[in-house]
Amino acid sequence: MIKYYKTIAFTNAFLNIGFRYDNKFQILPLSTDNKPYCPYASHYPFFLEYTIEYQKEEPKDTNELLQCRINKEKEILNLLSCLTNYRFFQYTPSNNVWGIQMPNKKVEEMNEDELKTMDNQNSIYVLALYIYQGLKNDLNIDNFSNYTFNHAVYKDNTRHKYYTDNPIDNNLHFLTIPNTLNESLQVYYNLSPKTKQKVNSCIYLACDGMDISNYKRSLSFLSFVAAIEGLVNLECDDDEIQFECHNCQTIKESPYHCPNCGRPIWGIKQKFINFLSKFVMNSEKSQKKYKDIYNLRSKLTHTGKLFVGDYDLSLDNNVDSQEYNDWLMRLETLQLFRIALDSWLRYKDKTIR
């Protein structure tokens, strides 16, 4: 039994296009006519329509149905977040805050009375929701809504160009999608349940990293690296390693060896580099970047090193320059994950453990 559902989600970039994948889901722009609008808002609402196929019938228990819907919505939004350059998301109860109402027009356009009213507000506890009169009817569907799709597809076919051409996710950009999206989604939905669960773990790690990137910079970076490492483990395993002792896992033989003493090692960093060289780019410059990323990961994990913005907010030029370099490192690592995921999904001869 297939049921159709509709909800509101958000992006940071302006979504003025629609996209549909098979009979799984579609995203539609939300017209601002007679709907809440604020010129200062950086989150753009849109409609997400999707299907859930039940073995028998839709759950009658409200909590069970709600959990089914939340899981499906999260899967779709996280998947889109990792196969495009943009974060697709919904609000959670933890988004509730004390706040005041922002004006629905720019301050310079407000008259004296409107400015006085705005300046004399009292804070209220705000529930993070986007609602309007008639929303309940808009969300009630029994099939996908009719829409003339005008996909803003990124048309440059240069390898990985979509993910490297100014991939900044903010409200100064219009949302575009890569021309590989349909193919990647087709492979994803045909994965076995076991493999899909592993891929979803990588995707969710990357999305967690996106959500905290601006205020927990070090953890965000580690999330991106962990997401890549999860993909590495899908392509590689440790069957080729032989142990002298399985209890303490002292290595007897391995295809990887220490460059200094020649002893067999796990080769975790080398696997990381090999994987990205295969699915992203194989050049000396790229391999150096992969090594830098993994070395930084090791410093953050084992020595207590942090990105400077996590402990030193300063207007000092040196700190500002370092913060920019740290931001760029996080962005590059995220984009490496996105490219690797897209390439791995579409790779015809990939190894699936």
What pLDDT, in 10s, does the model give residues 77-117?
Answer: 999 999 999 999 999 877 788 998 888 888 889 999 989 98
Q: pTM (2 decimals)?
A: 0.88
Between helices 193-211 and 317-346, what is the axis angle to 10°? 160
In DSSP terms, which residues pair with 62 in a beta bridge? none
End-to-end distance of the chain based on CA atoms, in angstroms? 32
Question: 101 with 156, same domain?
Answer: no
Question: 20 with 52, same domain?
Answer: yes
Which residue segment(s) compose the domain that 227 sits in? 220-238+269-346
> For 119-139, what is the mean pLDDT?
92
In DSSP terms, which residues pair with 51 in a beta bridge? 4
Q: Residue 353 falls within a domain, yes or no? A: no
DSSP letter for each residue of 194-230: HHHHHHHHHHHHHHHHHHTTTT-HHHHHHHHHHHHHH
**CA 279 from chain center: how many Å?**
19
Number of domains in the chain: 3
Question: 175 with 317, same domain?
Answer: no
Question: 165 with 46, same domain?
Answer: yes
Q: Which of 128, 153, 175 is the last residue of a domain?
A: 128
- Residue 315, token pair as written in the block: 């207007």
Q: Residue 102 falls within a domain, yes or no? A: yes
Question: 86 with 99, same domain?
Answer: no
Q: Residue 153 falls within a domain, yes or no? A: yes
What confidence tier does 243 reach under pLDDT thresholds 50, 70, 90? low
Question: 59 with 19, same domain?
Answer: yes
Q: Residue 171 falls within a domain, yes or no? A: yes
In DSSP terms, which residues pair with 251 in a beta bridge? 243
CA–CA distance, 41 with 38 (Å, rounded to integer): 5
Question: 231 with 334, same domain?
Answer: yes
